Amino acid sequence: MKKYLIAALTLALCGFCAVSCGNNGPKAIKDSVAEAADTLGSDSYGVARLSVINFNTGPSLHKESDSQALMGTPMKLIAKKNGWTLAVTPEGYESWVSSTSVAEMTKQELKDYLAKPKIIVISDYAKIYMDPDIKSMPVSDAVAGCILIDGGKHIKDFSKVEIADGRTGYIKSDKVEKFSEWMHKPLPSAENIISTAKRFMGVPYVWGGTSIKGVDCSGFTKSVYFLNGVILKRNAWQQAMTGTDVDISGYTNGGKYTLESLKNLKPGDLLFFGNKAANGKKEHVTHTAIYVGNGVFYQSSGHVRISSLIPSESNKYIKYKNLLCAKRILGNINNGKGIISVRNSVYAGLKEKARLEKHPGYEDGFGKN
């Protein structure tokens, strides 16, 4: 326990260090350090067993919503308290989840689970039924990105599936795709990213949300990239530390709020907004969005919407002057820039350390903040 507390405190303190375009610390880790009780052993893992599971900053319903994970997401389990489990997600985010939301496993059981053939939900919404009939009793709902065990049986236009907790059922075959084929597709193009982002238009802003049911700003960017086989860090300030810088200094420093000052941006780049350095205070990232082109971007603010960086446009973002920086994600996947593909992550199986040397910050396929 003492070793865990020291390591976690170090991570928390590192969050306050000055970084390019973001220096707010990981609140979830700080709260977890303060409230962790029974530390679990190194053989404790789990998989999300509901369509979307909710994480809080502490082991209580009264704590702030923090993040979410989709059905089929593997996790490392760290500690337990009052019916809550401190878990680490594949991107390295550490927070508290209701223990009933997770199918707990040993390391070997997780290896066996990950080795089974899977399917992934590609439709925005779907239902898993008890029988291959939409009139039969539902077993669970599912959303885009949920991962299920392939039951290997097809009846009419249904596919048999199994959830990590052992429940079985049938899902419409046109709403799923073989996971192995999905994750080995070519890395996404800008067109893929923008097309997926459009699917979220009108989806409500939900603090901590990372699914088609509701997203916060970084949950939106994370979800769009995940549905294209790419894992981003969870929070805006963390995402701002990945990829490569895009020069928009004419806009951010020169006060030239024109298309010319944004000429280096490409579709799919991430924009980061927040408070600029002033009066001895460092830059502080508070918001992120996906650039589309011609000064236009998609963001989750109230709901997922289209906004513009050009002040003369009717859909201008009221905080356009708060733009801090931009990062290029495409072209920087699997090359040590803090972004990896699903096929190189724990989703494809627990990784040995030697195999992850070119992906610094990842251990056993799980990210580390």
Tens digit of pLDDT for each residue in 58-77? 999 999 999 999 999 999 99
pLDDT at 182: 98
Using one digit for the tens of pLDDT, what is the confidence trace for 233-256?
A: 999 999 999 999 999 999 999 889
Q: Is the dihedral of CA 314, 315, 319, 320 positive or negative?
A: negative
d(C-alpha 169, C-alpha 111), whole Å: 23
Asked if CATH classification 3.90.1150.10 holds for the domain at 2-105, the reply, yes or no, is no
Shared fold status for 2-105 and 190-332: no
Q: What is the pLDDT at residue 41?
A: 79
Question: According to the model, what pLDDT value does residue 365 have?
Answer: 61
Among residues of the chain, what percentage have pLDDT more than 70? 85
Query: Percentage helix, strand, coil, to 5, in the chain?
Result: 25, 35, 40
Cα–Cα distance list, 279 to 24, 266, 275, 283, 320 (Å): 17, 33, 11, 11, 21
Tokens for 54, please give them: 């909710």
- The structure tokens listed for 175 are 């709403």
| Coil, helix or strand at residue 163 | coil
Superfamily of chain region 190-332:
endopeptidase domain like (from Nostoc punctiforme) (3.90.1720.10)
State residue 308's pLDDT score: 98
Task: Name the band, by pLDDT with cuts 50, 70 and 90, for residue 352.
Answer: low
Q: What CATH number does the domain located at 116-179 have?
A: 2.30.30.40
Please state the rounded mean pLDDT for residues 209-221.
Answer: 98
Vertex 127 angle, CA 122 and 129, to 5°: 130
Report domain extents, the chain: 2-105, 116-179, 190-332
| Helix (H), strand (E) at residue 274 | strand 270-275
| 3-state secondary structure at position 183 | helix
Tell me how crowded residue 315 is: count the other CB atoms within 10 A of its CB.
10
The token duo for 355 is 């195999």
pLDDT for 28: 45
Q: Is 181 exposed, middle or buried (0-12, 13-18, 19+ CB in 10 A)?
A: exposed
Lowest model confidence (mean pLDDT) among 9-13, 42-46, 217-221, 286-290? 9-13
Query: pLDDT tier at 194 (50, 70, 90 boundaries)?
Result: very high
Mean pLDDT for all residues in the chain: 88
Residues 271-306: pLDDT tens digits? 999 998 888 899 999 999 999 999 999 999 999 999
Amino acid sitting at position 106: T
Looking at residue 254, what is its pLDDT? 80
Q: How far apart are CA 361 and CA 342, in angstroms?
A: 15
pLDDT of 108-137, one tens digit each? 999 999 999 999 999 999 999 999 999 999
Spatial contact of 342 and 249, defined as CB atoms under 8 Å apart = no
Range in 84-98, 108-122, 191-205, 346-360 the model is least confident about: 346-360
Greatest C-alpha distance within the chain: 67
Q: Is the pLDDT of residue 225 over 80?
A: yes
What is residue 351's predicted lDDT score, i.e. its pLDDT? 67
Query: Are 23 and 284 spatial neighbours (Cβ–Cβ below 8 Å)?
Result: yes
